[in-house]
Amino acid sequence: METVRVVCAHDCPDMCSLLAEVEDGRVLRVRGDPEQPFTAGFACAKVNRDAELVHSPERIQTPLRRIGAKGEGKFAPMTWDAALDEITTRWQAIIAESGPMALLGYAYSAHQGQMNRGLMLGLFHALGASRLIAGTVCDTCCEAAWDITVGPIGGADPEAVDDSDLIVSWGADLVATNVHFWARAEAAQKRGVPVIVIDPRRSRTARLADHHLQIRIGTDAALALGVMHILARDGLVERDYIAAHTAGFDRLEAEVLPRFPPARVAAITGLAIADIESFAALYGAAKRSFIRLGEGMTRLARGGEALRAVALLPGVTGAYGRRGGGALLLTAASCELNYAALRKPSGPAETRLVNHSRLGDALLSMRDPPLRGLLIAANNPAVTCPDSGKVRAGLAREDLFTVVHDPFLTVTARYADIVLPAATYLESEDFYRAYGTYYLQYGRAAVPPQGEAWSNFRLAQELASRMGLSDPVFRMAPEEAVAALFEGATGPAAALDLDELRSGRPIRLAPQGGQEFRTPSGRLEFYSGQLAAAGLAAMPDWRPDPQEERDRARWPLRLLTAPGYFQAHTAYAGVDFLRRREGAPCCILHPEEAARRGLADGAKVRLFNERGAVGLVLRVSDEVLPGVVLVPGQRPDGETLSGTINMLCSDRYTDLGDGATYQSNFLDVAAW
Ligand SMILES: Nc1nc2c(c(=O)[nH]1)N[C@H]1C(S)=C(S)[C@@H](COP(=O)(O)OP(=O)(O)OC[C@H]3O[C@@H](n4cnc5c(=O)[nH]c(N)nc54)[C@H](O)[C@@H]3O)O[C@H]1N2
Ligand SMILES: Nc1nc2c(c(=O)[nH]1)N[C@H]1C(S)=C(S)[C@@H](COP(=O)(O)OP(=O)(O)OC[C@H]3O[C@@H](n4cnc5c(=O)[nH]c(N)nc54)[C@H](O)[C@@H]3O)O[C@H]1N2
Ligand code: SF4
Ligand SMILES: [Mo]
């Protein structure tokens, strides 16, 4: 038996260092690498089963050609050569007739390695295809809000939480989505550091916290401004820090904070005045308060404003200036590599843009030219994209030539003309940089690609070569391509020794000192000139969203979606054990709401609104408040009774970053 040092490539902030135990070309077991201090020798409940992911009997073995109707799932095996010939012939014809903008590469983050993630985008960039604004389904809203407030720079070092005197998990279910940070937070809690969770549901994390503020969905800005109001009222504002490192607090204090006294904040958020007061008192007394910002609270109409308000709090107490204090959303922006080397090797400076979360719309309504050729890799939009019914209608177009590259025959793949078997991270070599910690690592393949699977990197290179693209990056081995990423890198990454990196051990590259601000003023911006110039509110505020108010009048329940515990979106849909561990796809209603509808725990129910209907199993629990229906995970058809939750979600954008608004949807639940 051999032990191979690898890196977890699942879309997760932790980026664990892992050890794969391998024998005869098979992964026997995957476990945490004790040498990485943060991920500290344990893998999560999902990745503990990654041997079953790699060797799942449900994996696609060969390229497949569709022989049934789109969506039906009938395919026949074909050779790689025939598949690649057909793809390039079709693409060349589309380009000749309609120009390269009739093509779209729709590739995302299921493989977090820079090579396997970046080069597929690079292929379409070089082709001059319509360009994906990637990530709007996920983090563009929170990222835009952070960038405007703090700047395009990473947040607090998660390892500094060892020095914190207060930990706030604000809209993040750490136990599910950031378990190694949770391990540190729990250790701090054992030392007496209070842990507070602000979340509309009693998540696993909330149950383990010292205090849970069960806030109404979409009211976080009001709570953050209410806390600032109390801090100002009680003389807990650190004026020296404000003067030295921030901009616009005086205006916020004069124009906005007076409208957020505790009584009004209680009415908006649904929290008790006493709980708001005691949270503010704890926060104001702490010197090194650490806020872990979640993305969930930004996936709604005014999510950007919410994140902005919360990210400003550590400026009010000066926590941003102290180790263990501040806020962490993402870390990736601090690693300034030459990403363009892979993602933009050549190609026109501008082409037509397609928003990741509006694939359905793009497929159905783009003209001059319409989208005619689509390659989807490491993404399952028929399930995970908002308004997935519209996505499917688009994918069902007979005149659309669709290629899907995936290890599994996903719901999306069933609409493809050609399906190509993809290698997973355990079968591919890559370079990784974390987005939730300050580590970099090079990871080798643990086993060769299973069946006839190809890595994303290999597929991008082969398609580039057949399409006549001559950029050198399309001919490099992964080891060479990583050097291109570091050529032109700036900041601490520029000084890195590539040989040390290639040795495959984790490298820590964390910022030192207090939070740096990279806004136009170089300060934390309570008042944003950038927002004012764009005609948007320059300071955070809270007011009801008119569209939400209209929908609320029509439908009695608000949708709350959140990551599954034993699932990562749909990436584990091919692992039988984890499907069973996660349980039947369900929705969760408060006992009062269930009783009102005469529904009992375990009942088959229909969730519906103006976009459609979905069938799930009901769980009755006071994990959520009345007025809310929680749907954990995005489970595919076949596992659900019918459909998938994103069929009920609109493709409306957030206030900042044109992101998805899963939490701004309203619906009802009835017996199946
Ligand atoms: N197990 C598991 N881990 C994952 C994933 C997964 O699918 N499964 N997905 C990965 C990916 S791609 C990502 S982007 C990250 C996401 O990781 P997180 O940012 O931690 O997760 P979110 O989806 O943002 O949701 C976290 C919490 O936000 C809460 N929330 C929703 N609306 C509001 C609100 O208005 N206010 C407040 N305060 N809270 C709210 C939800 O109830 C939920 O408990 O997780 C990664 N890790
Ligand atoms: N309602 C609702 N919808 C959501 C969310 C939510 O909170 N609520 N969360 C959103 C978020 S944060 C995100 S990031 C998106 C995620 O949405 P997707 O990016 O669609 O994520 P997955 O469902 O994991 O699909 C990834 C696909 O990639 C495949 N795959 C895995 N490894 C590889 C590889 O190496 N190569 C290739 N080619 N394929 C691979 C997997 O088998 C899987 O089919 O979903 C979003 N959708
Ligand atoms: S916690 Fe995240 S990074 Fe670590 S093994 Fe699990 S999915 Fe991978
Ligand atoms: Mo995500």
The answer to whether residue 521 sits within a structural domain is yes
Q: Is 618 in the pocket of ligand 3 (CB under 6 A)?
A: no
Q: Residues with Cβ < 8 Å from 433, sequence gap 6 or more? A: 15, 114, 332, 335, 337, 439, 440
- Asked if 290 and 324 touch (Cβ cutoff 8 Å), the reply is yes
Q: Which helix (H) or strand (E) holds 548?
A: helix 546-554
Listed as own residue / partner, the contacts of 180-186 with beta carbons closer than 8 Å and 24 or more positions apart are: 180/14, 180/16, 180/38, 180/39, 180/40, 180/42, 180/437, 181/13, 181/14, 181/292, 181/436, 183/40, 183/42, 184/38, 184/158, 184/159, 185/161, 185/292
- Whether residues 73 and 134 share a domain: the answer is yes
Atom 45 (ligand 2): residue with closest C-alpha?
384
204 Cα–ligand 3 center, Å: 17
The answer to whether residue 541 sits within a structural domain is no
Q: Is 406 in the pocket of ligand 1 (CB under 6 A)?
A: no
- Whether residues 267 and 311 share a domain: the answer is yes
- Whether residues 310 and 161 share a domain: the answer is yes
Q: Domain ends where: 533, 560, 587?
A: 533
Q: Domain ends where: 486, 504, 533?
A: 533
293 Cα–ligand 4 center, Å: 14
pLDDT digits (tens, 9 = 90+) for 408-420: 999 999 999 999 9
Residue 421: strand pairing partners? 406
Please report the pLDDT score of residue 465 as a whole number: 98
Q: Which of 3, 44, 6, 139 is nearest to 432 (CA)?
A: 6
Q: Residues with Cβ < 8 Å from 69, sequence gap 6 or more? A: none
Q: Which of 664, 571, 516 is nearest to 50 (CA)?
A: 571
Please report the pLDDT score of residue 216 as a whole number: 98
> How many CA atoms within 13 Å lie on the side-chain side of 506?
26
Atom 3 (ligand 3): residue with closest C-alpha?
15
Number of domains in the chain: 3
- Whether residues 347 and 399 share a domain: the answer is yes
pLDDT digits (tens, 9 = 90+) for 460-516: 999 999 999 999 999 999 989 999 999 989 988 998 999 999 899 999 999 999 999
The C-alpha atoms of residue 314 and residue 316 are separated, in whole angstroms, by 5
The answer to whether residue 539 sits within a structural domain is no
The answer to whether residue 438 sits within a structural domain is no
The answer to whether residue 469 sits within a structural domain is yes
The C-alpha atoms of residue 149 and residue 154 are separated, in whole angstroms, by 12
The answer to whether residue 442 sits within a structural domain is no
The C-alpha atoms of residue 408 and residue 417 are separated, in whole angstroms, by 15
Q: What are phi and psi of 99, to 5 degrees?
A: 90, 160
Please report the pLDDT score of residue 421 as a whole number: 98
* Planar angle of CA 336, 117, 409, nearest 5 degrees: 160
pLDDT digits (tens, 9 = 90+) for 104-161: 999 999 999 999 999 999 999 999 999 999 999 999 999 999 999 999 999 999 999 9
Please report the pLDDT score of residue 93 as a whole number: 98
- The ligand that comes nearest to the alpha carbon of residue 177 is 1
- The ligand that comes nearest to the alpha carbon of residue 380 is 2
| Residue 108 Cα: closest atom of ligand 2 | 19
User: Domain holding 461: CATH number?
Assistant: 3.40.50.740
The answer to whether residue 46 sits within a structural domain is no
Q: Is 562 in the pocket of ligand 1 (CB under 6 A)?
A: yes
- Asked if 292 and 174 touch (Cβ cutoff 8 Å), the reply is yes
- Whether residues 265 and 165 share a domain: the answer is yes
Please report the pLDDT score of residue 533 as a whole number: 97
Q: How far is the CA of 620 from the CAs of 57, 652, 672, in angstroms?
A: 34, 30, 15
Please report the pLDDT score of residue 621 as a whole number: 98
As a whole number, the mean pLDDT across the chain is 97
* Planar angle of CA 100, 488, 352, nearest 5 degrees: 20
For the chain, give percent helix, strand, coil, nearest 5: 40, 20, 40
- Whether residues 520 and 566 share a domain: the answer is no
- Asked if 467 and 64 touch (Cβ cutoff 8 Å), the reply is no
* CA dihedral (488, 492, 498, 502) positive or negative: negative
The C-alpha atoms of residue 586 and residue 589 are separated, in whole angstroms, by 10
Please report the pLDDT score of residue 271 as a whole number: 98
pLDDT digits (tens, 9 = 90+) for 360-375: 999 999 999 999 999 9
| Peptide bond preceding 57 in cis form (omega within 30 of 0) | no
User: Domain holding 239: CATH number?
Assistant: 3.40.228.10
Confidence of residue 641 (pLDDT cuts 50, 70, 90): very high
- Whether residues 240 and 301 share a domain: the answer is yes
- Asked if 396 and 371 touch (Cβ cutoff 8 Å), the reply is no
* Planar angle of CA 564, 565, 570, nearest 5 degrees: 45
pLDDT digits (tens, 9 = 90+) for 395-440: 999 999 999 999 999 999 999 999 999 999 999 999 999 999 999 9
Cβ neighbour number for residue 419 with a 10 Å cutoff: 28
Q: Domain ends where: 505, 533, 561?
A: 533
Helices (H), 414-527: 456-466, 478-486, 498-502
615's tokens: 């069938």
Confidence of residue 65 (pLDDT cuts 50, 70, 90): very high
- Whether residues 325 and 351 share a domain: the answer is no
The C-alpha atoms of residue 231 and residue 285 are separated, in whole angstroms, by 10
Please report the pLDDT score of residue 394 as a whole number: 98
pLDDT digits (tens, 9 = 90+) for 75-115: 999 999 999 999 999 999 999 999 999 999 999 999 999 99
Domain that holds residue 610: 546-671
Q: Is 330 in the pocket of ligand 1 (CB under 6 A)?
A: no
Q: Is 572 helix (H, G, I), strand (E, B) or coil?
A: coil
417's tokens: 């003309």
The pocket around ligand 2, CB under 6 angstroms, is made up of 11, 108-111, 116, 137-138, 377-381, 384, 405-408, 410, 422, 424-425, 456, 561, 568-571, 634, 645-646, 649, 662
- Whether residues 342 and 325 share a domain: the answer is no
- Whether residues 171 and 319 share a domain: the answer is yes
- Asked if 579 and 572 touch (Cβ cutoff 8 Å), the reply is yes
The answer to whether residue 322 sits within a structural domain is yes
The C-alpha atoms of residue 639 and residue 278 are separated, in whole angstroms, by 44
Q: Residues with Cβ < 8 Å from 319, sequence gap 6 or more? A: 286, 287, 288, 289, 290, 313, 325, 326
User: Domain holding 662: CATH number?
Assistant: 2.40.40.20
DSSP tag of 201: B
- Whether residues 457 and 526 share a domain: the answer is no
- Whether residues 603 and 638 share a domain: the answer is yes
